[in-house]
């Protein structure tokens, strides 16, 4: 029960911090609207595309592939930390995991998912 109370206290503190930051930003933030300040800003240049326009489906496909391979790295770090304790079974299981991901990457590459037209 003590562990549950500490988790609950942590969530309450996080929620309080979020509410405090939102309240301070609305209280202390600028109030005057300006059409120049409300326009989209892209590094000092005139915007190429305005927000709300549709993006190419390939953008989403590449983003999903990035997330997939980024999560792979999250699994590799703990495995590398306990590599010696896992032995051969851990090595071959991770080798299988990486092999499946490489096959998926090859499949996406062959299908043209990484080509930007």
Structural domains present in the chain: 2-110 (1.20.58)
Rounded to 10 degrees, what is the CA torsion of 83, 88, 89, 92? 90
Return the higher-pLDDT residue of 63 and 55.
63
Instruction: Round to whole Å and give the CA distance between 23 and 19.
Output: 6
68 pLDDT exceeds 70? yes
66 pLDDT exceeds 80? yes
Query: How much is the pLDDT for 70?
Result: 85
36 pLDDT exceeds 90? no
Share of the chain above pLDDT 90, in %: 24
Contact call for residues 42 and 48 (beta carbons, < 8 A): yes
pLDDT tens-digit series, residues 76-96: 888 888 888 988 998 999 899
Contact call for residues 47 and 39 (beta carbons, < 8 A): yes
Q: 42: helix, coil or strand? A: strand
């Amino acid at each position: 029960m003590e562990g549950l109370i500490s988790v609950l206290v942590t969530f309450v503190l996080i929620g309080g911090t979020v509410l405090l930051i939102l309240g301070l930003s609305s209280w202390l933030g600028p109030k005057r609207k300006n059409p120049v300040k409300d326009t989209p800003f892209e590094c000092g240049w005139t915007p190429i595309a305005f927000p709300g326009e549709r993006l190419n489906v390939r953008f989403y496909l590449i983003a999903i592939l990035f997330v997939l391979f980024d999560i792979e790295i999250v699994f590799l770090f703990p495995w590398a930390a306990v590599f010696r304790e896992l032995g051969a079974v851990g090595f071959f299981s991770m080798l299988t995991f990486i092999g499946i991901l490489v096959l998926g990457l090859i499949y996406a590459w062959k299908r043209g998912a990484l080509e930007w037209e």
